A and B are shown apart, each in its own frame.
Chain A
């Protein structure tokens, strides 16, 4: 199947700083990517839908100024957590829709963010 890669897989940052997580579709083009957050023992929560070349669409309750999403190319979307706080510590997962081939959505490996 298609491969979606996230980087970094784990990151620790200090409160008040910003951290960027990258999501890449390695062997296909993805006009649409999605960002999720998952707390331990809970399900995935959709944060936003990222469309190449346009502004991201955020789900209700997700602060767009805190979670900056950029989808500058057909293979890369980034999530920047700004002014991070300990409560932002979570598992962040991206996914990408493969154009054609049934438009299957593939997920990245996820990125653990710990804010200290």
Chain B
């Protein structure tokens, strides 16, 4: 499983766009990139998943360059409630029976008023 590296923490202000970059230099051809959000004393919540280029949903966008050695989670116009830990995970074929999620250290995002 590819190892991921993220900034330990980030600060932002309400209304700003936040971009969290994750490095995964050893990503394999079959690996997908998935981001989760976790609030204190809660289980992680799925945010977005992608394989290449750009993926967008109602919550965030995920940018993946051509070499796929990194990815950037973009949160538009954050609010105080976006304060949480964000995890970037890399794993092969979500539909594969051997697929499992291994969490790295995550990024603690603090959104200030």
Contacts and interface: CB of A to CB of B under 8 A. Distances in A.
Interface of A: 1, 4, 6, 32, 34, 36, 43-46, 49, 91, 93-95, 97, 102-110, 112
Interface of B: 36, 41-46, 49, 87, 94-95, 97, 99-106
13 contacts: A4-B43, A43-B87, A43-B103, A43-B105, A44-B103, A95-B101, A97-B99, A103-B95, A103-B99, A104-B46, A104-B94, A107-B45, A109-B43
Given A4-B43, A36-B103, A95-B101, 5 more contacts: A32-B97, A34-B100, A43-B104, A45-B103, A107-B45
Residue of B49, B95, B100 with most chain A CB atoms under a 10 A cut-off: B100
B106 A43 contact: yes
Contacts of A94: 43
